[in-house]
Amino acid sequence: MALPISSEPDEPNGQLTFELGHTAAQGEADFMVGEGNELAYGRIMAFPHWPDPITLLTGPAKSGKSHLARIFADRSHAVFAGADDLAALATEGGARPLIVEDVDRLDYDEAGLFHLLNQSMRAQRPVLLTAREDVANWPLATDDVRSRIRRATAFTLELTDDIQLSQMFVKLFGDRQLRVDPRIIAYLVARMERSAEEVVILADIMDRLALAKGTAITRSIAADALDRRQNLRGGARQEQDWDTEDDE
């Protein structure tokens, strides 16, 4: 559950600083399998019986790529590679599994990635890559890395229906030790932008609003959160100002 809030004297406009004390559950049993991710999940759970060494998971923010990477790390004892580690890992060689997250966004050494992928193919070294974009949209200087990555077994993660969005809300509220009326979740799902990232943002806004008001999460709070997100997307509001008016 969210911890108490504190007001810092140097905060601009007297805004409140929130200390959120929840930890997202990232275990194997915590992953929600649905139509939009079951193939990716099956691939991770099939390790070490992969017919080929390189796996690529693509999907939008908060779609479950990092959760699957953590499950893979637990199952395989894989190493998470940093942006500057790839060349050294390729030179070092070996067969210990590796995880390279957000490979399309974190400015990885392109030559190092090229050599690592080659080493993986030669040594059958398991490598799990994650990215938001299809490889065709990666900011690569040459086609060498792109051609190697196209040989990977690729899976796309996406939310496909109201049930998965609802389950995601349940999990996020559970991580915060909050119990929320299922009717409020249904109200949100029917009106929100349909993405995993939006579920995370709305859950966080509602947690903060409820804490500021000193109440449970109500339909009024849900409506307020939806309005704030709509205002932000429309450019009308540039900051979150968590009020403490009584809820209806």
Q: CA-to-CA distance for 128 and 55, rounded, in angstroms?
A: 5
Average pLDDT over residues 170-190: 92
Q: CA-to-CA distance for 154 and 32, rounded, in angstroms?
A: 20
Superfamily of domain 37-156: P-loop containing nucleotide triphosphate hydrolases (3.40.50.300)
Q: CA-to-CA distance for 187 and 184, rounded, in angstroms?
A: 5
Q: Which CATH number fits domain 12-26+161-233: 3.20.20, 1.10.8, 3.40.1360, 1.10.1740?
A: 1.10.8
Q: CA-to-CA distance for 178 and 163, rounded, in angstroms?
A: 19
Question: Please, which pLDDT band fits residue 194 given cuts at 50, 70 and 90?
Answer: confident
What are the residue boundaries of the structural domains of the chain, listed by start? 12-26+161-233, 37-156
pLDDT score at 247: 41
pLDDT tens-digit series, residues 204-235: 999 999 999 999 999 999 999 999 998 887 75
Instruction: Map the chain to HEC letters.
Output: CCCCCECCCCCHHHCCECCCCCCCCCCHHHCCCCCCCHHHHHHHHHCCCCCCCEEEEECCCCCCHHHHHHHHHHHHCCEECCCCCHHHHHHHCCCCCEEECCCCCCCCCHHHHHHHHHHHHHHCCCEEEEECCCHHHCCCCCHHHHHHHCCCEEEECCCCCHHHHHHHHHHHHHHCCCCCCHHHHHHHHHHCCCCHHHHHHHHHHHHHHHHHHCCCCCHHHHHHHHHHHHHHHCCCCCCCCCCCCCCC
Average pLDDT over residues 147-155: 95
160 or 123: which leads in pLDDT:
123
pLDDT tens-digit series, residues 11-25: 333 333 334 445 566
pLDDT score at 25: 63
Q: Are the C-beta atoms of 9 and 145 separated by less than 8 Å?
A: no
pLDDT tens-digit series, residues 47-72: 999 999 999 999 988 888 999 999 99
Question: Please, which pLDDT band fits residue 180 given cuts at 50, 70 and 90?
Answer: very high
pLDDT score at 242: 41
